[in-house]
Structure 1
């Protein structure tokens, strides 16, 4: 099957997390939000800002997680199952056929791990674009920088709430477009 290069599906996930980074005994990181923005490659238009809330099945949202993401246990409890969220990516966004991007490698690794753990088909094709690395290499930086710093370096304003998936995906798409535009114009 030929890869569709009309859009890049920009994804940013939020997962259950804890102060100090380690889950309590018996819990593990669960994706609780899939934020996505399809980036139209011919124009640079961000086509949509979507938040898919996912009900965690192996952990609870900690106070630290709520402080970071603004998401509460009550909110994500109304979400859909992880496997249904993956099906939406495949059916509505043709994620198996399109390039997808995230800022860093965490999102790819978390999807891979959670799919394996839960026996869910990985919703993406083999091509993942790490926008964080691409930005650093493209700018000749000595190391990768966080999303707010990348946006500041580009003169872009952070829109929405940092650490909310749909807002971060929207902002990542803006950064990615700036990098791609620069590559195209030299």
Structure 2
């Protein structure tokens, strides 16, 4: 039987974005949720998931497509934000399982979008900012981006940078590196 803290959800989101200011009335909305399940005891990445989310108040710009690879047509096949949050809870135990992300952007984006849409926040309180933990563990003066952190750790970037599913997978590799070096605190 798994211990309550042996599994960790690593989350990375992609959201609508623009080269400059958003068009009038548009707001940044989650369009992809990448999730990698990590078994901290076995020290392995177990599963890679991707949830596409249909934006309601914005569209995917050319800049956003160039950055993320996501198109409006692709995200139109996704679920609405409330359904994505339900999937996180029902299928990935997001409300009870500890979770982690690279920096606080993902946590803040979920909090903002949940407030704006009246959707129940899907996560519990046990969040780890992997960027901060990595920076402290390595004794770095500046907090690196995920791709730079992979270089520092000697790992390749697997997949496409700014793909939520691929970035969550890569962040999970950095989590496991922290675990292997004794620099990961559970909870």
2:98 partner SS: strand
1:74–1:146 Cα change, 3 Å: same
Residue in 1 that maps onto 2:37: 38
Alignment deviations for residues 87-106 of structure 1 (CA, whole Å, 9 cap, x no partner): 01101111111111000110
The alignment yields a C-alpha RMSD, in angstroms, of 1.3
CA–CA distance in 2 between the matches of 1:85 and 1:25?
26
1:143 partner SS: coil
- Bigger CA drift: 163-172 or 4-13? 4-13
**Structure 2: segments with no counterpart, 5+ residues:** none
Residue in 1 that maps onto 2:88: 89
1:66 maps to 2:53: no
1:94-173 residue pairs with structure 2 within 5 A? Answer: 94-173=93-172
- Bigger CA drift: 61-70 or 38-47? 38-47
CA contact (8 A) 2:37 2:47 kept: yes
**Structure 1: segments with no counterpart, 5+ residues:** none
1:56 maps to 2:55: yes
The runs of 4+ residues in structure 1 deviating greater than 3 Å are none
CA–CA distance in 2 between the matches of 1:136 and 1:184?
11
CA contact (8 A) 2:15 2:29 kept: yes
CA–CA distance in 2 between the matches of 1:166 and 1:122?
20
1:4 partner SS: coil
CA–CA distance in 2 between the matches of 1:116 and 1:148?
31
* TM-score relative to the length of structure 2: 0.95
Using the TM superposition, give the Cα deviation of residue 184 of structure 1 relative to its aligned residue in structure 2, in angstroms. 6.2
2:134 partner SS: helix
CA contact (8 A) 1:101 1:129 kept: yes
Residue in 2 that maps onto 1:12: 12
CA contact (8 A) 2:137 2:183 kept: no
